[in-house]
Each structure stands twice: as C-alpha cells, then as structure tokens.
Amino acid sequence: MAVWIGLLIFLVSATDGAAARPPSECQRYVTTSTAFEEDVRSRGARAVIADWINRVEPDQVAHAWDCLLAAIGGADQGWLDVGSLLWAAADGASAEDLMWAFATAVDTNPEAALRHFNSHVVQRLEVVCSVDTLPIERTIQEARVLFARRRNRVRKVKASDLRTSVDACLRQVREGEAELSHEQR
C-alpha cells in the first residue's frame, strides 16, 4: 500500500499533462498494454488480478500490482483499456486500487481519461472524479489542493465531444469539495 501511495503521488505530481510513466523499477513487470490485454483475455481478469496482486519478489522495491496501477494511472489508452477489463472483474481492495489508478489518470491526462470514459461506463467517471478516490491518509488541505488541480486540469479539456464527460467530472469535483467543507467544520 505504501508503494502504491508513493506511485500515486508520483503520477499526480506530473505537471505537464503528458502521460506519466511508471518508475523504472516497474519496467520489469509492466511491458506493453497489448501483451497484458491478451493475457487478461486468455486467462480471465480475476486470474490475472490474483496473479499480479501476489507477484512479489524479495529483491524488488515495487510490487507488481502497484506497477500495473501506475501504468493505468499514466493515462495511456492501451493501459486504460486494460484497467477497464480488470475493473469489470475486480472486487474489494483491487476495485478500490483500480479506482485510484483511474483517478490518477484523470489527474495525469484528463483528456485521454475522459475520452476513455466517454466510450465506456459513465458511472465510473463519476466515481473516479469524486472524493472517494482520495487516499484516506490525506489531510483536508491536501485533498483541497488535489481537487483544485483536478478541476483546473479537467477545465482545460476543450474537445466538444467530451463536454458531457467534462461537466460530469467537474460536478463530482464540486461535490467532493463541498463534502470537504462540511468535514472541516
């Protein structure tokens, strides 16, 4: 979990809006989204999730699952597609982890993430833009900063075909900010 939070902070701190790349220690696990998608389609998402969550080598800093989440959070279309395949079969902690990865994708490259959700399930977009995607360890001030950054990045998406998705995400961000205001009181 600590490695995932570190990777989440790495991805959210990307300032240029370009798709972030997972840290170098992840290159061993995360090769191409195409190969990974083939594995999911041949073995099934539940089997792949279980395999990746349990794939830890003693000499490695990063956990394989955390590296996969970082790749999805980088907002590359191929990895977003892989994330959707996995999310369809995920439950419990793995579903929550994938939700955070998608939220990171919105923060990293909002246009790519919103375009992905525009062609998939809109309910997921509303989930990943909401307060529920913030790690519990964040202070209210840190959460406000994250929401402000997310709001500013999403507002910059000008593609007319994404207007509905942009509006839905911004509505969820506003609701999350309102919840933070109530929590502070």
Q: Domain ranges in the chain?
A: 2-184
DSSP, collapsed to helix, strand or coil, labels residue 151 as helix
Q: Is the pLDDT of residue 160 over 70?
A: yes
CA distances from 46 to 30, 49, 52, 85, 99 (A): 18, 5, 10, 10, 16
The Cα diameter of the chain in Å comes to: 51
Q: Which residues contact 18 (CB under 8 A, 6 or more apart)?
A: 109
**Torsion region of 75: left, alpha or beta (phi above 0 gives left; psi -120 to 50 gives alpha):** left
Q: Is it the case that residue 81 has pLDDT exceeding 80?
A: yes
Q: Is 131 helix (H, G, I), strand (E, B) or coil?
A: helix
Assigned token pair, 155: 């507002």
pLDDT digit string, tens, across residues 99-110: 889 988 999 999
**Tens digit of pLDDT for each residue in 16-58?**
333 444 556 677 677 788 988 999 999 999 999 988 887 766 5
Look up the pTM and report it: 0.79
